[in-house]
Amino acid sequence: MQKAKRKMLNEKLKKIRQAKHLEYGSFDANMINIGRAWSSLLGLNADIPGHVVANMYVIAKLIRTQGGYKEDTYDDAANYLYQAQTMQKAKEWFDQDVEPEPDEEDLAMARRNLDNEQ
């Protein structure tokens, strides 16, 4: 039973990531650009890596939980953490801060899901 719940949660989180990609574009590129902007604002000599920015958003989501339970907050935190992990692995393995973008099948499924929700 636990395995089935985990699979359902993973599918739910994947659909959220796909929808966010359609709405906002590349997660990785956005996190990298935010890291650059924050570094500039703070006067740092090096850019804050994208995976660190994603981890900072995880912390922000966790702080929000102090105001009460909201499932969306936990879903967002889980997705930020997942993508931070993926970005850091890619950076260490390939010496770059890029995760492969969703393929056309994933994007088509996300579009259908968005259409069904509206």
What local confidence, expressed as pLDDT, does residue 95 receive? 61
Query: Running DSSP on this structure, what letter comes out for residue 118?
Result: -
Structure confidence by residue, pLDDT tens digits, 52-98: 999 999 999 999 999 999 999 999 999 999 999 999 998 877 664 55
Structure confidence by residue, pLDDT tens digits, 4-26: 777 887 888 889 989 989 999 99
Task: Report how many helices (DSSP H) and strands (DSSP E) the chain contains, helices first.
Answer: 5, 0
Please report which confidence band the pLDDT of residue 104 belongs to, taking 50, 70 and 90 as the band edges.
confident
Rounded Cα gap, residues 89 and 96, in angstroms: 9
Which of 82, 62, 84 is CA-nearest to residue 73? 62
Q: Taking CA 59 as the corner, what is the angle to CA 6 and CA 47, rounded to the nearest 5 degrees?
A: 115
What local confidence, expressed as pLDDT, does residue 116 receive? 79
What local confidence, expressed as pLDDT, does residue 100 receive? 61
The whole-number average pLDDT for the span 37-45 is: 96
Q: Which two tokens stand for residue 21?
A: 């990609």
The answer, yes or no, to whether residue 1 has pLDDT greater than 90, is no
What local confidence, expressed as pLDDT, does residue 99 receive? 57
Q: Which two tokens stand for residue 14?
A: 């994947």
